[in-house]
Amino acid sequence: MKATQVRPTGRERVLGDDDVIVTKTDPRGVITYANPTFLRISALDEADTVGQPHNLIRHPDMPRAIFKLLWDTLKERKEVFAYVVNLAHDGAHYWVLAHITPSFDPQGRPVGYHSFRRRADPAAVAEIRKLYAALRAEEQRHTSSPAALEASWALLQRTLAEKGRTYDEFVWDLTNRSAS
């Protein structure tokens, strides 16, 4: 696949209630498997997906702090749930509730990651957008990537502390609120 810069079109693609996106990666985040739903929703084909870094679907509106949280949690050998906006190869975007787990070999060594994603409830997305917009605005106030990440991370920690919630608790509050 040619390395092209995909630009967001603002067009949203919504997963169906029965759509399940599954991908597997190696420990570096390089895709080793993508199910047909992933390929359809992301407007990619298998040949252009397998062997590519999973960030090939990273939307520019995703805050760096959330990816830090994801990778830090996975490095602790724990699963993580997160609301994520992805960028399809045709410029459309789509929101998912992602469940990412580390995969281990028989000796307990991490060999990659398994990601299972479903449609994100619109009410939860409306709430998470506010937090992510604030984090991105904080990042954009800084000229260096490390400073942007540090500032965004600090804001995320302050925001969660003010809510008296961890990120996991915040995600589940949103998920449960929209389910009721």
Which CATH number fits the domain that encloses residue 134?
A: 3.30.450.20
Domain membership flag for residue 4: no
Domain membership flag for residue 7: no
pLDDT for 2? 45
Domain membership flag for residue 48: yes
C-beta separation of 134 from 155 below 8 A? yes
Domain membership flag for residue 15: no
Query: What are the φ and ψ backbone dihedral angles of 75, each rounded to 5 degrees?
Result: -65, -20
Q: Range of 113's domain?
A: 21-179
Q: Which residue in 95, 70, 66, 77 sits closest to 157, CA to CA?
A: 66
Residue type, 106: P
- 13, pLDDT greater than 80: yes
* Average pLDDT taken over every residue of the chain: 94
pLDDT for 5? 82
Split at pLDDT 50, 70, 90, the class of 177 is confident
pLDDT for 118? 97
In this prediction the pTM is 0.92
Q: What is the pLDDT of residues 94-115, one digit of tens each?
A: 999 999 999 999 999 999 999 9
Distance, CA of 70 to CA of 6 (rounded, Å): 23
Q: What does the chain come to in residues?
A: 180
Which residues have a Cβ under 8 Å from the Cβ of 43 and sit 6 or more positions away?
Answer: 88, 89, 90, 92
Domain membership flag for residue 145: yes
Please state whether 141 falls in left (phi above 0), alpha (psi between -120 and 50) or beta: alpha
Domain membership flag for residue 114: yes
Q: What is the pLDDT of residues 119-143, one digit of tens each?
A: 999 999 999 999 999 999 999 999 9
